[in-house]
Amino acid sequence: MRSIGRTTLVRDALASSAQARDLFVKHGIDPEIRCVGIYDINTVDDIEASCHVTNVDTLIDELNAALPSPAGR
């Protein structure tokens, strides 16, 4: 995955790194438990309204920082 943005599906964001779920939890949501249905069909942007998560941009920045480095770099 290149980067995570507001249009990234929650399931893809969760699969992006080993730390992703912990980062969501840090921001007030465990997508695998809370807000049933967001895991498969919703984007990161959707959790702001649907699950009352604040600072979605900070979450996105942290998810991107946790992405594994491309091989060979």
Q: pTM of the prediction?
A: 0.85
Q: Report the C-alpha gap between 14 and 30 in whole angstroms.
A: 10
- Please give the pLDDT value at position 48: 82
- Please give the pLDDT value at position 34: 67
Query: Using only C-alpha atoms, what is the Rg of the chain?
Result: 12
Q: Which residues of the chain have pLDDT under 50?
A: none
Could you tell me which of 1, 62, 2 has the C-alpha nearest to residue 26?
62
What is the identity of the amino acid at 65?
A: A
Q: Are 53 and 29 in contact (CB under 8 A)?
A: yes
Q: Are 13 and 20 in contact (CB under 8 A)?
A: yes
